[in-house]
């Protein structure tokens, strides 16, 4: 009796379940008009105000698809091609002492509710945020801006409180920037900090279609008047992508499954093994940044071994160099990325324009660079790392690994430091360390042990790198344990509450040689005593007069001045000499694309936009995608 009822119920459920594959994946929206992107699990799903705290830096499409500002930089681009004038019609114009910036705006751009975009919106954006501390860009505006003038509806003049040759970068999108507020909307709002902006008014080509109140998905729709936007103006035909779906696709395993089920076109990040699985099981329906191994897209951030310079003995550059020479970078590359790592010996990410601006020109200098170990000098640089890694991964990937060293360098980086335990030992002895059996003792006679902090869960590849480096150090007599900080990672780094850590402390424009993006905050003025929280850069608390001089010089040259590259090189050389942190590699992101419905994704060969849905310039990818002709 009971069994029969149960069986009937099970059958009914199964009957309901069977058609799920045949059914539309998204109710009411044709799959071949929608691009499905990995999005976040939103907590405040009904919140679309980009300017309130927590509202900016959204990864649900709001800033990527509806926001716009004056200029964009493609982190993958090089030279002039990396620069895009968006709402501005031209590059910024500064006066001679960099206390005034004038911007010309484009005409014919409209908000999605039909109101025209004008200079008043720009002025309103600045004034409102200054008036409301706590809004996203309130602080930088307050620090920099004396006043904003609008001589005519297409011109904005910013009068600055002090000279600042990089003021325009506040309005230049790499990942995000100060988005322009719709004046006509916010004017009617009592408190811009508590206004949800739901639905948001769009200044870009897409507009909110619908969203999940539980925060699992948001759907954006192509504007009917997509041509009246800065991005639309440049297009010669309507984008094929009519709908953009940001969906929370779950943990990395679920993401892989969903892509292989063709329910997720764009993945933001998965582990290398997940990537390899897709490459193995779905090679015909997937595209990657590199056509084969190492697949990954290098983000312009620089995972490094950070040392807290306020904690002895990490204030000693010989110790830092010794630790660098104890690292076998090939194992680190294999352990963290299964070899798919883009190695970096210089203290700037090996991506975008940095390759041609810094890495390639400095190879010779690196090869000849000498380190004095106290007893002798060595030349630690090894330009053949790429070939060595290629040899390691060849058994697995075979023909996908080219033999041309230039191609290999594009995949695995230009080179890195040779492992040299002997030299490292000499450096440690130079710093007053002694070896007791297989254990290094600090000058004070206590064992040299290290706690190496990693984030752990959200950035697994760095945790993996951490464990392998810890093992290498431990085997050489420096007991190292890996400490998972989880959500407290950022704070502990900011507060100087660590000895050593694996994280990034350098990020760049990617598409521009200017290093002010991170370098500005490395000035010793901003260094706090141990235990106090610092701005989230210069996490190593590296203090050096020569560095201050470079920073101060950089402030006085223009953004596109050739001197920028010279100063950049000065910084890079100083960083090699001091080794304030050990740069390891670019942050490689595995972001495979499903080509079942869409083609024309960016790649290393055609890097017209960044790979990965978090980047705002993904919007350039979305409008460029083409429907796959072979899809029914």
Q: Which of residues 134-163 bind other proteins (CB under 8 A)?
A: 134, 136, 138-140, 142-144
Tokens 């160099």 correspond to 321
Q: Which is nearer to other proteins, 55 or 415 (CB)?
A: 55
Q: How far is the CB of 75 from other proteins (least distance, A)?
A: 11
Contacts of 48 (CB under 8 A, 6+ apart): 55, 62, 196, 197, 198, 199, 200, 208
Which of 163, 168, 182 has its CA nearest to residue 122?
A: 182
Cβ proximity to other proteins: between 252 and 383 the closer is: 252
CA angle 418, 424, 428 (to 5 degrees): 160
Q: Which residues ranging from 485 to 504 are in contact with other proteins (CB under 8 A)?
A: 485-488, 490-491, 494
CB of 298 to other proteins, least distance (A): 16
Nearer Cβ to other proteins, position 17 or 605? Answer: 17
Residue whose CB is less far from other proteins, 43 or 406: 43
Range 476-479, long-range pairs (CB < 8 A, 24+ positions): 476/326, 476/421, 476/424, 476/440, 477/435, 477/437, 477/438, 477/439, 477/440, 477/448, 478/323, 478/326, 478/440, 478/448, 478/449, 478/450, 479/439, 479/447, 479/448, 479/449, 479/450
Tokens of 505: 């402390």
Closest to other proteins by CB, 532 vs 626, is 532
Tokens encoding 400: 């996908």
Q: How far is the CB of 524 from other proteins (least distance, A)?
A: 11
310/471 with CB nearer other proteins:
471
In whole angstroms, the minimum distance from the beta carbon of 130 to other proteins comes to 11
Query: Which helix (H) or strand (E) element contains residue 507?
Result: strand 500-507
Distance of CA 413 to the CA centre of its chain: 18
Work out whether 483 is an interface residue with other proteins (CB under 8 A): yes
Which one among 82, 103, 170, 624 touches other proteins, defined by CB under 8 A? 170
Whether omega for the bond prior to residue 199 falls within 30 degrees of 0, making it cis, is yes
- What's the rounded Cα separation, in Å, for the pair 266 and 611? 9
What distance in Å separates the CA atoms of residue 91 and residue 171, rounded to the nearest whole number?
11
Q: Does 367 bind other proteins (CB under 8 A)?
A: no
Question: Given the complex with other proteins, which of 221 and 320 has the nearer CB atom?
Answer: 221
Residues 246-305 that bind other proteins (CB under 8 A): 247-254, 256-258, 260-261, 270-271, 273-274, 276-277
| Closest distance of CB 364 from other proteins, Å | 31
* Sites for other proteins among residues 463-482 (CB under 8 A): 463-464, 467-468, 470-471, 481-482
**CB 166 → other proteins: shortest distance, Å?**
7
The Cα 124–Cα 272 span in angstroms is 45
Contact positions with other proteins (CB under 8 A) in 380-439: none
Tell me the closest approach of the beta carbon of residue 170 to other proteins, in angstroms: 7
Residue among 454 and 579 whose Cβ is closer to other proteins: 454
* Nearer of residues 256 and 623 to other proteins, judged by Cβ: 256
CB atoms within 10 A of CB 575: 20
How many residues of this chain interact with other proteins, rule: CB under 8 A?
109
| Least separation in angstroms between CB 440 and other proteins | 19
Find where tokens 């191609």 sit: 407
Scanning residues 108 to 137, which ones bind other proteins (CB under 8 A)?
A: 133-134, 136
Using CA atoms, how far residue 260 sits from 246, 375, 382, in Å, is 17, 58, 40
Contacts of 206 (CB under 8 A, 6+ apart): 61, 65, 66, 220, 221, 222, 223, 226, 244, 619, 622
The pattern of x and - marking residues 298 through 337 that bind other proteins according to CB under 8 A reads ---------------------------------x--xx--
CB 383 to other proteins: min, Å:
24
- Shortest reach from residue 125's CB to other proteins, in Å: 15
CA 92 to chain centre: 25
**In the complex, what is the shortest distance from the CB of residue 335 to other proteins, in angstroms, rounded to a whole number?**
6
Of the pair 86, 249, the CB lying nearest other proteins is at: 249
Contact predicate 486/456, CB 8 Å: yes
Name residue 206's beta-bridge partners. Answer: 222
In the region spanning residues 13 to 42, those forming contacts with other proteins, defined by CB under 8 A, are 13-14, 16-18, 20-21, 25-29, 41
**Interface positions, 40-59, toward other proteins (CB under 8 A):** 41, 43-47, 52-54, 56-57
Binding string, residues 518-557; x marks residues near other proteins by CB under 8 A: --xx-x-xx------xxxxx--------------------
- The distance of Cα 317 from the centroid of its chain, to the nearest Å, equals 28
Residues in region 73-92 near other proteins by CB under 8 A = none
Burial class of residue 438 (count of CB atoms within 10 Å of its CB; 0-12, 13-18, 19+): exposed
Rounded least distance, CB 488 to other proteins, Å: 6
For residues 463 and 574, which CB has a smaller minimum distance to other proteins in the complex?
Answer: 463
Among the listed residues 371, 592, 617, the one whose alpha carbon sits nearest the alpha carbon of residue 509:
617
Binding other proteins by CB under 8 A: which of 175, 206, 359, 559? Answer: 175
| 340, 293 contact by CB (below 8 A) | yes
Segment 188 to 217, residues that bind other proteins, using CB under 8 A: 193-194, 209-210, 212-217
CB 31 to other proteins: min, Å: 11
96: left (phi over 0), alpha (psi -120 to 50) or beta: alpha
């Amino acid at each position: 009796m009971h069994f029969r009822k149960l069986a009937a119920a099970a059958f009914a459920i199964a009957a309901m379940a069977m058609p799920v594959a045949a059914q539309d994946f998204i109710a009411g929206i044709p799959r071949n008009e929608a691009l499905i992107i990995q999005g976040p699990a939103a907590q405040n799903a009904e919140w679309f105000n980009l300017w309130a705290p927590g509202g900016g830096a959204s990864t649900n499409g709001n800033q990527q698809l509806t926001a716009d500002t004056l200029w964009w930089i493609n982190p993958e681009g090089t030279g002039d091609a990396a620069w895009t004038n968006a709402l501005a019609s031209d590059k910024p114009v500064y006066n001679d002492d960099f206390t005034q910036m004038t911007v010309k705006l484009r005409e014919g751009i409209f908000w999605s509710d039909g109101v025209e975009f004008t200079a008043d919106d720009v002025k309103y954006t600045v004034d409102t945020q200054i008036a409301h501390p706590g809004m996203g860009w309130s602080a930088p505006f307050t620090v920099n801006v004396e006043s904003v003038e609008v001589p005519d509806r297409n011109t904005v003049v910013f009068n600055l409180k002090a000279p600042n040759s990089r003021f325009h970068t506040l309005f230049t999108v790499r990942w995000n920037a100060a988005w322009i507020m719709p004046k006509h909307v916010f004017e009617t709002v009592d408190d811009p900090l508590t206004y949800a902006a739901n639905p948001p008014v769009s200044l870009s080509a897409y507009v909110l279609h619908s969203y999940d109140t539980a925060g699992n998905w948001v759907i954006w729709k192509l504007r009917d008047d997509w041509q009246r936007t800065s991005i639309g103006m440049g297009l010669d035909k309507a984008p094929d992508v009519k709908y953009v779906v940001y969906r929370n696709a779950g943990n990395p395993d679920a993401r892989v499954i969903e892509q292989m089920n063709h329910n997720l076109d764009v993945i933001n990040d998965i582990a290398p093994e997940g990537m390899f699985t897709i490459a193995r099981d779905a090679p015909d329906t997937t595209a990657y940044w590199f056509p084969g191994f190492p697949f990954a897209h290098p983000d312009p951030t620089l995972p490094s071994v950070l040392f807290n310079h306020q904690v002895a003995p990490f204030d000693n550059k010989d110790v830092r160099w010794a630790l660098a020479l104890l690292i076998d970078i090939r194992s680190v590359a294999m352990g963290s990325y299964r070899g798919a790592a883009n190695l970096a010996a210089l203290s700037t990410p090996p991506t975008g324009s940095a390759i041609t601006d810094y890495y390639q020109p400095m190879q010779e200098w690196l090869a000849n660079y000498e380190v004095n170990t106290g007893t002798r000098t060595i030349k630690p640089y090894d330009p053949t790392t790429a070939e060595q890694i290629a040899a390691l991964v060849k058994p697995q990937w075979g023909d996908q690994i080219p033999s041309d060293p230039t191609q290999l360098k594009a995949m695995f980086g230009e080179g890195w430091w040779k492992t040299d335990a002997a030299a490292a030992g000499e450096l440690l002895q130079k710093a007053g360390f002694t070896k007791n059996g297989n254990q290094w003792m600090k000058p004070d006679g206590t064992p040299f042990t290290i706690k190496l902090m990693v984030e752990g869960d959200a950035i697994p590849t760095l945790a993996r790198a951490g464990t392998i480096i810890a093992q290498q150090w431990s085997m050489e007599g420096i007991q190292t344990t890996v400490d998972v900080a989880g959500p407290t990672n950022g704070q502990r780094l900011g507060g100087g509450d660590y000895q050593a850590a694996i994280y990034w402390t350098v990020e760049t424009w990617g598409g521009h040689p200017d290093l002010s993006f991170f370098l500005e905050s490395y000035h010793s003025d901003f260094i706090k005593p141990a235990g106090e929280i610092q701005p989230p850069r210069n996490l190593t608390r590296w203090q050096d007069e020569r560095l201050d001089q470079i920073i101060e010089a950089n402030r006085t040259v223009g953004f596109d001045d050739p001197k920028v590259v010279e100063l950049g090189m000065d910084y890079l050389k100083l960083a090699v000499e001091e080794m304030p942190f050990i740069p390891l590699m670019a942050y490689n992101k595995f972001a495979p694309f499903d080509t079942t419905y869409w083609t024309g994704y960016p790649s290393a060969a055609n890097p017209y936009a960044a790979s990965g849905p978090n980047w705002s310039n993904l919007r350039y990818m979305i409008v460029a995608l083409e429907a796959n002709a072979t899809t029914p």
